[in-house]
Amino acid sequence: GQNIDQPTEMTATEGAIVQINCTYQTSGFNGLFWYQQHAGEAPTFLSYNVLDGLEEKGRFSSFLSRSKGYSYLLLKELQMKDSASYLCAVGPNDYKLSFGAGTTVTVRA
């Protein structure tokens, strides 16, 4: 089976940095995705990592270590609009994605 673990909730202050960790154990690996989902809305694509290392995209960065089965999503200069659920998803093979339960981030003023 596939096992994707991420923290349930995190709280941070506006302007701060938050790091959301994701660990995975899957039967194969074909890439790791991060999605953002605001309450009542569609999950939206944030990042995709298939090679080890850090991918930076504006205020958001995603890191992958395949040997450790570990990824993190780094949110910098937090804004109130960043309050959302962040979903880690691993593609074990082809089209199938195994999702974590999501991390709810609350940004406080």
Partner 1 sequence: ETGVTQTPRHLVMGMTNKKSLKCEQHLGHNAMYWYKQSAKKPLELMFVYSLEERVENNSVPSRFSPECPNSSHLFLHLHTLQPEDSALYLCASSQDYRGQETQYFGPGTRLLVL
Q: Which residues bind partner 1 (CB under 8 A)?
A: 4, 8, 30-31, 33, 35, 40-45, 48, 50, 87, 89, 91, 94-102
Q: Smallest distance from the beta carbon of 2 to partner 1, in angstroms?
A: 9
Q: Smallest distance from the beta carbon of 87 to partner 1, in angstroms?
A: 7
**E-state strands within the chain:** 3-5, 9-13, 18-25, 32-37, 44-49, 53-57, 60-65, 70-75, 84-93, 96-99, 103-108
Q: Smallest distance from the beta carbon of 9 to partner 1, in angstroms?
A: 10
- Between 43 and 69, CB nearer to partner 1: 43
- Between 69 and 102, CB nearer to partner 1: 102
* CA separation, residue 40 to residues 37, 43, 99 (Å): 8, 9, 18
